[in-house]
Amino acid sequence: MADLGTIADELVARQGHLSLQYGAGQGTPELRDAVCSVMAADGIAGADPEHVVITPGSQAAIDTAARMLGNPGDVVVVEDPTFVGALNTFNTWELDAVSTPTDEEGLIPALLHTTLQQLRAAGRRVAFLYTIPSYANPSGALMPAERREEVARICREEDVLIVEDNAYGQLGFEDGPVAPIAAAHRDQVIYLGTVSKIFSPGVRIGWALVPPALLREFYLSAESAFVCPPVFSQMLSTAFLTRFDWQAHVARCAAEYALRCDALVDEMEQSLDPRVTWTRPAGGFFVWSRMPDGLDTLPLMHAAAEAGVVFVPGGAFTPDAGPHPHFRLAFSFVAPEALREGVRRLAPVLNGALPGNP
């Protein structure tokens, strides 16, 4: 923080004529270069900075994709469950989010294929598939390389563009990143990255790697929404990615997140009724958990809040009607002992909602 502060001083005091001024709508060349090195670490070799568009956070890139690709009434195919922020954006564009099932390894290719075929048979236009293959929000699922290939093949056959959101790919607890779908299928994927999980969410810097044929339209759509991304934020992010050992920093973060995940899961094992289940993630921020079928976690959220702990109920992560037995626990921001205390507060609420418990 101290070193970054000194850089912030320089960026304003000596380069204020740049950092406080309008910048290019596509983002600064320096940051577009720097994020190509991040993508290289993610497994996308040789990305061209000319095909990168910087956005004020990854959410703005999701929004830009919807703006550009969707017409009202079109379908966006999403994972069940998927990121609530994406669902909100699709909703404002009057896009119809249609979910397709996932398991612990993310999208199930055969069922995705069925979903796309059914939509085609029903005459629906599919604007794109929105997927989070690595340590997904909220499921934590990591899609293996073979499935990624399968998904790319199916989408190519069905002529469906992919919007691949890779906010968490570098946050594996033990293993390195699995190459994004975009790595080998550049022309059929709008790939979204962000510094939110490797540097800072408050600077609001994300980016899209866009197929050349779509680049101009993407860039103009983005500009129509926000003119240009914040310039100081871009310059500070560039400094972080070029003047610090950011990969060592991310590795330290991932190691800490692994400890936090361990603490959370350990306490869940000790305190929760065995009928409460979850998937232990291999990276990312979330433990995706569930109550038995038929229970809905929305009312339990209110009871939990009264007990001094919050979670996000499963209904937030799907366009489908409930009841939703799932719930999302987030461990990234909270120290291990606080996570344990959170579970201890949660336990009477969850356990008490189960049939037969007092």
Shorter beta-carbon distance to a second copy: residue 5 or 294: 5
- CB closer to a second copy, 10 vs 33: 10
- The DSSP annotation for 200-233 comes to -STT--EEEE--HHHHHHHHHHHHHHHSS--HHH
264-41-18 Cα angle (round to 5): 100
Binding site for a second copy (CB under 8 A): 1-2, 4-14, 16, 18-23, 56-57, 59-60, 63, 67, 72, 85, 88-89, 91-92, 94, 199-204, 220-221, 223-233, 236
User: What CA–CA distance (Å, rounded) separates 336 from 170?
Assistant: 21
CB atoms within 10 A of CB 356: 6
Strands 326-330 and 312-313: antiparallel
**CB count in 10 Å sphere of residue 49:** 18
For the CB of residue 194, give the shortest distance to a second copy in the complex, in Å.
Answer: 11
The least distance separating a second copy from the CB of residue 152, rounded to whole angstroms, comes to 28
Q: Smallest distance, Å, CB 222 to a second copy?
A: 10
In the complex with a second copy, which residue's Cβ is closer, 205 or 347? Answer: 205
| Nearest CB to a second copy, comparing residues 40 and 225 | 225
> Least distance (Å) from a second copy to the CB of residue 27?
12
Find the shortest distance in angstroms from Cβ 156 to a second copy.
28
Residue 80, both tokens = 């069940």
If we measure between CA atoms, which residue out of 320, 173, 311 comes closest to residue 253? 173
Which is closer to a second copy, CB of 10 or CB of 262?
A: 10
